[in-house]
Structure 1
Amino acid sequence: MPKWKRYLYYTAPFLALATLAMYWLYFTLRILFVMSAQRKNRKTFPMAWLFIGTEIAVAIPIFMQSFWNIFILKKRNRPQLRVRGDDVPSVDVFITCCKEEVDLILDTCRAACELDYPVDRFRVMVLDDGGDNNLRVAVKQLQLGYGNLYYRARTKTPGVPHHFKAGNLNYGLDEVCKLEGGAAPYMAALDADMIPEPDWLRGVLPHLLRDDKVALACPPQLFYNVPKGDPLAQSLDFFVHISEPVKDALGVAWCTGSGYVVRREALEEIGGFPQDSLAEDVATSTLMLGRGWKTAYVHEPLQFGTVPDSFGGHIKQRTRWAIGTVDTNIKLKFCLWGANIAQMKFFPRVSGFLYAILSLFNIPLTISLFALPIVLISGKPLIAYSNTDQLRWLIRACFAALFINRLCEFALYLPAGYATGQRGARQQLWMSPYISVAIVRSFFLPKWLGGQKQAFKPSGSIKSELNERDVPTRAPLLQRMRVILFNYLGIWHVIYCYFCLAAVSLTTSRCIAENNNTPDRSLCLLTHSFWPPISWLIVISAFWTPVTYAIDPPSMAPREDLLDVDPKTGVKRPKEAMKKTGWGIRDGVFEMEYTATTVFTAVVFIMSFFY
């Protein structure tokens, strides 16, 4: 980043602390003033308490994220490095696949075989867990030009657990032992759709070579088919450009599933890839940290892949991630105790615990969000206080918390982009019902009540019945609405939004009808439906995402058009323009709403000094 941006970004830890302090001051005043009002009026204010709970539930993810922001200034000591020359370690490169498109897998194969690395020092093995005969034939044809390319497909016996991706990787670890020369001391993995840059291995390996206690080094997962405006917040830019560097500085770098290089010795010490987890990547790095190994995050653009190109694919991918994170941490006792994490340091334990809790927190967040329209429609005040001075202080504290949080957002989101951070915040809201239902069904409900055992399904193998991003074959509007609203339960988002709007309309009508003068009406509207920063407007805007996506899905060119082809090697790599996600109209609309609620809060704050 330019220096001015970097210096501004370095203010984020202080703004994060100030945001935490102001939020807690605001909530403390809210609670104290409700108690004061109850003593004065000798009655309870249940809706005021419920509204406090809703506000706290929405704020808690901010608190958890702010914990990491405090450590932004901690140095990582992770310089950009390259191994030079031909005297380099040997590496076994696995490409895991399962029923993805053959052309997509072959693009990854060619790029992996054409790495800037001595051809006699690495082998590429395609691990086909789908047993695709077309892929087998295609790889065999490709082998004519690459003597270090291999194809393997394990036998799956019906009724015998095969442990999904982890089982496939462990199968590959066994298979390379049978090749001439045996297994290499390092193993690397690529997802079927992840096209590595030519210097991928030369860029990742040094971080293991310079410290023999580093078990695993991983670059970010970046994508080349994210549509303009990223309406579903599919890019991982906030995670890879902000969260992961901070975690790496604290010794908590996670394996993110593709592009990593791992020391085989460390893998063998933990018994290979853990086969009882849907998130084998996170589980692997967590177990290594638990055995006293180190992990490294290589913050460089060394691989580019694809995001799911459908609404359904995105929902299934993100719910699987959440379930995998929770499942891994339950089995590891939330990284609090146990033999598997006996040598884990403080911050890795905190990280494992917080990320699991953050996933589980979607349940109370969803409950609190669905309680919001009930509070609004009740006709009871959202805010309880015993005198006007208390009301003024609540308004001022609310303004201070919002204003400092907005400054913090602006500074914090700089590495990933302001719009990316805001998309992620919206996704936290509208995705919470999907993640909550998936977690409840996976961990809390018996099968006869709708519980289900989650299974691993590769994102690339999830086919869309809508083709919503391909203009020529896109399903008609009514079909898109039917599938997204009913098959993927977007109808609950519609019901929620209309219920909120109806509740606000009803409460507003009551305030106007039951008060005879402007000051009383204004006070009633402020305390019953328009308490700053008008949270329900932001929530409704976020919850409407599935509907806007169904009505106006983004358009993307065919994948082939997003790639440049090397005329000599035939290797396809993403076009430079496709490596960045631009602004979209939805970003502008949400920013107008966010700005309007901020201005409204500022106006109410100013008025508190005059009335």
Structure 2
Amino acid sequence: MDSEHKFEIEELPADQRALASQKYRKPLFYVAQSVVWIGYLYFLIRTLALLSSPQRTWQMWTMLGVELTFAHLARKEHLRSVTASNVAESGPRKRLRLKSTENLPRVDVLLPCCGEPVDVIMDTVRAACTMDYPVTKFRVRLLDDGGSALLKKTVSDLQVQWPHLSYHSRGRQSGQVFAKSGNLNYALTTLQNDDPPEFCAVLDADSIPNREFLRAILPHLLLNPDSALVSTRQFFSNLPEGDQLSQARCHFYTCQNAELDILGRAIDAGSGAVFRRESIVQVGMYPTFSFSEDWQLSLVLQGMSHRTMQVQEPLQFGLVPTSLTGHIAQRSRWNIGHAQQVVAMFSSKVPHLSKSLRMKIAWNGAGIVGGELGCLLAFAVIPVLLLSGSVIPNVSPFWINLQLLLAGIHISLTWLYEYIQAAHTGFESAPFAHLENKWQAGGNIYSILKFYLLTSKPKGSFITGSTANSWNRTIRLSSYMKFYKELLQNGILCNVVTLIMTLGAIFYSTATILTPNDQDAATKIFTSIAWPPLLHICYLSVSSNWVPVAYLLSPPQYPDRNSQASQDELPKKELHQNKWSILDKAGRDMAQFGSRLDLVDEAEL
């Protein structure tokens, strides 16, 4: 029994794979620290050599800029690992369960929705209403911005069985009045003013929580009075085999956010957050200046000295977009949200935030958008650099050898760090996964420009996994027309062109340099095509731009949301009554074996 909070909290056995991977924590720290300092030394020598050389071309300066771009993106990973490793308790977050049955805190479970299919929404409602928590201590509030009469009646019919369920609507909003953030703020103010709960949970319209959802998350808030919000890692029931588009975002949850969790600065970037209501109200509630309201709320909370955390357990199950168009639109929307946070910080929309906090939020957004722009330009200019000959000045052998030595060490340590980081996550994340979906950089920048130059209003639904979304509707097209649509409308042609030009430039420049009887062949090779950073970035460019091409050549098969019923030979109605035991079993299996979830249910990111 916890003496301070008077709640019985049990600590469950730790995930064995997570414990086993902890042996890589120290090597990760030392390699990260080494690559940071070697990087500083390398770029210092690199810049001095270029400045002191009488031969300075725009290609040489461009190559230095490209190197700095990718080194900076990797450096953020390295510094995060170093900082988190310096925290006394840098191990995986404990698995806790709230065992108390008396005097439990009151919780409102908020389910915002807008236009999703009623059956999908009601699956989430049923899961939320049947969570393992006293029904007198939690309410499930369905917040419908779609103004659906059918949804309202369906909820009304269930209130006899579940009196803690209620339907609320601001009317048909369809993306207006601050969209999801406005819907949640409506609940925090209008609906809760007279009878506020201590905690709130937020679930997307088709994110299925398991029965222990509240009992697994609340202990982290109850044991940490300075904590304001706990986010949960996203698990998905319809991931295709191989996850070609990195839709599971394993790197974000197991590397980036796991390290931020150690620092008390985890980012809420999806469904399934539980927060202390008083803290969210004190900071001005959900920000309404960005599509990425959950991300922005995390930054505001951290800027006002609140801790934010992340739980790695499989506590909810969602859907990923089942089309390339849907995936691209989802990622573009996220990047528009990050661009919005930059613009908003220089406007009058956030007078309650201090100037220093506004600058931090703006810098965060600028860094994300800048990373997209940097990768776009770098991938485009790589073929030119390959064909331009020497990318570093042909100075004295000493300076060339020194730069070559430091470059080789820096790139080698970078690769070593990536593999140790992957091992530290139990190989859930792949090397250089922090650049996942950078093949979409051009599309993201285009979406941001289009949003600000042509329209300032979101068009259509952003329901990513729903079959009601036009992105994911099954349209009968010939193989040729489907390929043509994906190639042109989704901008994959740019990736194909970049890929072909890069590979062609590699072969052509190699053949040009390797001429017989050339005494300076070695110098020419190592100052051009075989320059270690250039080889490294060529690999990143080819591997990144190959992703959408591979998707087009061999599209993945997404599991059908109803296939679980056919596998178990259960009728749909019976499946709804028994799915929670199916999901709970899957959660236990994942915790025990660390295997990829392959549930077939319905939910949404």
Question: TM-score range with shorter-chain normalisation?
Answer: 0.7 to 0.9
Match of 2:538 among 533, 536, 539: 536
Helix, strand or coil: the match of 1:218?
Answer: strand
CA contact (8 A) 2:146 2:171 kept: no
Distance 2:354 2:318 in 1: 32
Aligned to 1:223: 236
Helix, strand or coil: the match of 2:116?
Answer: coil
Match of 2:291 among 261, 278, 287: 278
Distance 1:491 1:206 in 2: 50
Aligned to 1:414: 423
CA contact (8 A) 2:90 2:262 kept: yes
CA shift, 1:204, in A, is: 1.7
Aligned to 2:185: 170
Instruction: Tell me the TM-score normalized by structure 1.
Output: 0.82
What amino acid is the match of 2:138?
A: F
Asked if 1:547 corresponds to 2:549, the answer is yes
Aligned to 2:97: 82
Residues 269 and 30 of structure 1: CA distance in aligned 2, closer, same or farther (over 3 Å)? closer
CA contact (8 A) 2:200 2:277 kept: yes
CA shift, 1:419, in A, is: 6.0
Helix, strand or coil: the match of 1:171?
Answer: helix
CA shift, 1:69, in A, is: 1.1
Distance 1:22 1:305 in 2: 42
CA contact (8 A) 1:61 1:358 kept: no
Aligned to 2:448: 439
CA contact (8 A) 1:285 1:295 kept: yes
Helix, strand or coil: the match of 2:161?
Answer: coil
What amino acid is the match of 2:377?
A: I
CA deviations on 1:456-497 (whole Å, 9 max, x unpaired) are 7232357676869x9xx8854323321221111111111222
Aligned to 2:560: 558
What amino acid is the match of 1:554?
A: P
Residues 46 and 553 of structure 1: CA distance in aligned 2, closer, same or farther (over 3 Å)? same
CA contact (8 A) 1:310 1:464 kept: no
**Which one is further off, 121-130 or 410-419?**
410-419
Q: How many residues align?
A: 560
Asked if 1:139 corresponds to 2:147, the answer is no
Aligned to 2:479: 477
Distance 2:58 2:356 in 1: 47
Distance 1:2 1:582 in 2: 15
CA contact (8 A) 1:33 1:385 kept: no
CA deviations on 1:535-586 (whole Å, 9 max, x unpaired) are 3243123112212111211112212335888879334454739967769xxx
Q: What does 1:21-420 align with in structure 2 at a 5 Å threshold?
A: 21-36=37-52, 38-39=53-54, 43-73=55-85, 74=87, 75=89, 79-83=94-98, 84-156=100-172, 161-174=176-189, 176-177=191-192, 182-332=195-345, 339-341=352-354, 353-354=363-364, 356-378=366-388, 380-418=389-427, 420=429
CA deviations on 1:351-385 (whole Å, 9 max, x unpaired) are 8734641333321332232122222233x312323
Helix, strand or coil: the match of 2:527?
Answer: helix
Helix, strand or coil: the match of 1:421?
Answer: coil
CA contact (8 A) 2:112 2:144 kept: yes
**Which one is further off, 451-460 or 112-121?**
451-460
CA deviations on 1:245-279 (whole Å, 9 max, x unpaired) are 32233232333342222222223323432223212
Residues 480 and 425 of structure 1: CA distance in aligned 2, closer, same or farther (over 3 Å)? farther
**Which one is further off, 457-466 or 360-369?**
457-466
What amino acid is the match of 2:50?
A: V
**Which one is further off, 247-256 or 488-497?**
247-256
CA shift, 1:165, in A, is: 0.4
CA deviations on 1:43-92 (whole Å, 9 max, x unpaired) are 43322222222122122100122221112321269643332113211211
Distance 1:145 1:262 in 2: 27
Aligned to 2:3: none
Match of 2:439 among 397, 419, 430: 430
Helix, strand or coil: the match of 2:136?
Answer: helix
What amino acid is the match of 1:527?
A: T
The percent of aligned pairs where both chains have the same amino acid is: 28
CA contact (8 A) 1:430 1:545 kept: yes
Aligned to 1:588: none
Helix, strand or coil: the match of 2:108?
Answer: strand
